[in-house]
Structure 1
Amino acid sequence: MTLSLASAARLLDQHGLLREIIQNDRWSLDPQDFTDIAFTAVTYDSRAVDATTLLFCKGRFKAEYLTAANEAGLACYVAETDFSERTDAVGLIVDDARKAMSLLSAEFYGRPQDSLTVVGITGTKGKTTTAYFTQAVLNAWSGGKAALFSSVDNCLDGKHYEESDLTTPESLDAFRMMRTAVDNGMRYLVMEVSSQAYKVHRVHGLTFDVGAFLNISPDHISPIEHPTFEDYFHCKRQIITNSRALVLGDGCAHADLIRQDAARAGIDVTETAPREQVMESHDLAIDGDFNYANAAAALAIAHVIGVPDGDPALHAMDTVRIAGRMEQFHDTHSDTVAIVDYAHNYASVNALLDFVDKRFGERHPHITLVTGSAGNKAYDRRDGIVNAAQSRIDQFVFTTEDSDTEPYLDICNQMQGYITDPNVASTIIVDRTEAVNWAVDRARERQDRLNVLLLIGKGDERWIKDHNRHVAYEGDDRLVARLFGTQE
């Protein structure tokens, strides 16, 4: 892990990012005009600096953050703005601070990606499940040497899983975790790659040994994410030209354009098998026929990497369970089934209801959907959830999800306003715990038929995001297990 002011400046210059180097009134392109510094730490937190720290000023960074950093002896910063009026530190002024952070973080941590076979998985739905399936197979094949970055958990040693904050970590965090994985003896890394990862350059400069493009449908359309579906799709397509081989999901929309991307990049495309073919040879522990499409993608990825057909490791995914994904609970006091899942948009809610229809349709269940939607982003999800469900369920319960700075009640009211089917009932209960309690109580009052409660969007998350803070929450899974009397 060797990175200095001089080597950082040279790397940025090689990639066409360096504008100039500034310290007080000295401006230059030559790092030899400045005292060289060997960095012992890199960070984007201005509160965690000392005389050998390289600070990345990215995103909503404010100049006043540098006052305390300068007092702490900040050595050097990377920014798109000259902050010499605020600090005596050397400034590496660049065209794009996020791109610079990705390149320099990789270098600081010794380019750990070069010691790993890295799999990147993107798609509107199924990324997490496919990532878990793929890691299970590679773990079994390699003797426990496969790491995982996912929207649910990160695993850096092939066996211990810790809750994650982002689908794709910030680049600095990603390369730091890769270094830990390599030091732990990992040979493979499977990671989810979100559209935002390319939008804000979290994976800039990273080439995947295998990229997987599962599917595409409108999502994440908002002023702070993607202004249009075209922009969303374009960002996701960047994985193609940043991969050495591509796995393409069966039935993926706009597949011809994806194949054209691959042809232009000169990379091979492996098409996944139809889910029905996988269903003949695998019995998955995770419910839902749509998960067989995810399994097909995992098998294709494993094949590209070199796992032989018929190898026992391919069946490692059969027993995979993911907390908060298609988890079923049965009430001990009534004929009620609850399913906890992360479904959060039109496609995933539609797939969930397809499963309910196939599994329980003959019993004509009363279906209640407990749902909210994220605040300040992905506004298209709100009417998407309602439109996917309203003609297929009996009752909506709109409640809190992760509001960010939007009032919970405003989101619930907006979603309720999208209902056009007069035959579906709806209520708003802002407190999520109260909403689940209400849904369970109403189900127990109905003894004439099966009740199916669908609790979506939060899975096993133990928090609700409010004004950039994680407020403690019991979790849909634990809450319903407690109410049903099935909690261990």
Structure 2
Amino acid sequence: NITPDHIGPIEHPSFEDYFYHKRLLMKNSRVVVINSDMDHFSVLKEQVEHQEHDFYGSQSSNQIENSKAFSFSATGKLAGDYDIQLVGHFNQENAVAAALACLRLGASLEDIKKGIAATRVPGRMEVLTQKNGAKIFIDYAHNGDSLKKLISVVETHQTGKIALVLGSTGNKGESRRKDFGCLLDQHPEIQVFLTADDPNYEDPMV
């Protein structure tokens, strides 16, 4: 997905510069897989017109249906039913993208289904259930877009009060901090604990 990120004094000076360099990755690739529901899809669609490519999402034949917590169905090249351990619709989208890439590499649908069902990623929507029924969701939500998706998943799968432990890595993507603040301002019901995370060369007390 392409959302404003990695923008700051030591990274990209603007979103336009970031978007340009993202597009260079596609220009220098033999095959690309793109989410048709992402922002700026029309620009990317035109760019890859003469490249080998696969699209997925609502503007393609490769779509997700019957999305549940730990399963989904797919249409198009990936037609079938899938089990998945990673909670969240965005993880199902990631799985479809990976599956389309695997098809391009010659993997069978059967092996792809087994791979998706077996995949767990430490620190990516990792769910720990406590004895009292409370759940801890661990995720490397490092920008506004990923934090928004994390909150959406938690609100869907957990009742009761929500507490969030959040930090922002030092010397990276300073725009993320504003995005965090703007998003959390929309969720006054969430109790927030700020941490220095990895301050790098920044003074966390400033």
Larger radius of gyration: 1
The CA distance in 2 between the partners of 1:313 and 1:255, in whole Å, is 26
- Residues 6 and 173 of structure 2 are in contact (CA less than 8 Å); yes or no, is this contact kept in structure 1? yes
* Correspondent of 1:339 among 111, 130, 137: 137
- Residues 259 and 269 of structure 1 are in contact (CA less than 8 Å); yes or no, is this contact kept in structure 2? no
Q: Which residue of 2 aligns with 1:397?
A: 193
Q: Which residue of 2 aligns with 1:179?
A: none
Where in structure 2 are the equivalents of 1:194-209 lying within 5 Å? none
The CA distance in 2 between the partners of 1:327 and 1:285, in whole Å, is 9
Superposed CA deviations along residues 231-254 of structure 1, whole A, max 9, x for unmatched, are: 111111111111112111231211
The percentage of counterpart residues that share the same residue type is 32
The CA distance in 1 between the partners of 2:112 and 2:43, in whole Å, is 33
The CA distance in 2 between the partners of 1:394 and 1:267, in whole Å, is 45
The CA distance in 1 between the partners of 2:204 and 2:13, in whole Å, is 23
- Residues 83 and 116 of structure 2 are in contact (CA less than 8 Å); yes or no, is this contact kept in structure 1? no
Q: Which residue of 1 aligns with 2:183?
A: 388
Superposed CA deviations along residues 416-440 of structure 1, whole A, max 9, x for unmatched, are: xxxxxxxxxxxxxxxxxxxxxxxxx
1:389, distance to aligned residue in structure 2 (A): 2.8
* Correspondent of 1:251 among 37, 42, 59: 37
Alignment length, in residue pairs? Answer: 189
Q: Which residue of 1 aligns with 2:86?
A: 286
Q: Which residue of 1 aligns with 2:120?
A: 321
Q: Which residue of 2 aligns with 1:58?
A: none
1:277, distance to aligned residue in structure 2 (A): 6.5
Amino acid at match of 1:330: T
The reply to whether residue 356 of structure 1 matches residue 154 of structure 2 is yes
TM-score, normalised relative to structure 2: 0.84
TM-score, normalised relative to structure 1: 0.37
Amino acid at match of 2:182: N
* Correspondent of 2:47 among 250, 261, 264: 261
CA RMSD of aligned residues (A): 1.8
Q: Which residue of 2 aligns with 1:276?
A: 65
Amino acid at match of 1:400: A
The CA distance in 1 between the partners of 2:31 and 2:133, in whole Å, is 49
Structure 1 residue runs of 5 or longer lacking an equivalent are 1-214, 411-488
1:391, distance to aligned residue in structure 2 (A): 2.6
1:409, distance to aligned residue in structure 2 (A): 2.2
The CA distance in 2 between the partners of 1:257 and 1:391, in whole Å, is 30
The CA distance in 2 between the partners of 1:277 and 1:267, in whole Å, is 31
The CA distance in 2 between the partners of 1:300 and 1:291, in whole Å, is 14
1:335, distance to aligned residue in structure 2 (A): 4.6
* Correspondent of 1:238 among 1, 7, 24: 24
Amino acid at match of 2:53: V
Where in structure 2 are the equivalents of 1:75-154 lying within 5 Å? none
- Residues 250 and 293 of structure 1 are in contact (CA less than 8 Å); yes or no, is this contact kept in structure 2? no
Amino acid at match of 1:377: K
Superposed CA deviations along residues 381-420 of structure 1, whole A, max 9, x for unmatched, are: 112122223333421111111111111123xxxxxxxxxx
The CA distance in 1 between the partners of 2:107 and 2:126, in whole Å, is 30
- Residues 376 and 404 of structure 1 are in contact (CA less than 8 Å); yes or no, is this contact kept in structure 2? yes
- Structure 2 counterpart SS, 1:408: coil
Shift of the 395–373 alpha-carbon distance from structure 1 to 2, 3 Å rule, reads same
Q: Which residue of 2 aligns with 1:369?
A: 164
Superposed CA deviations along residues 87-139 of structure 1, whole A, max 9, x for unmatched, are: xxxxxxxxxxxxxxxxxxxxxxxxxxxxxxxxxxxxxxxxxxxxxxxxxxxxx
- Residues 126 and 137 of structure 2 are in contact (CA less than 8 Å); yes or no, is this contact kept in structure 1? yes
Superposed CA deviations along residues 241-280 of structure 1, whole A, max 9, x for unmatched, are: 11112111231211121122223xx312211223336712
The CA distance in 1 between the partners of 2:185 and 2:64, in whole Å, is 27
The CA distance in 2 between the partners of 1:338 and 1:217, in whole Å, is 27
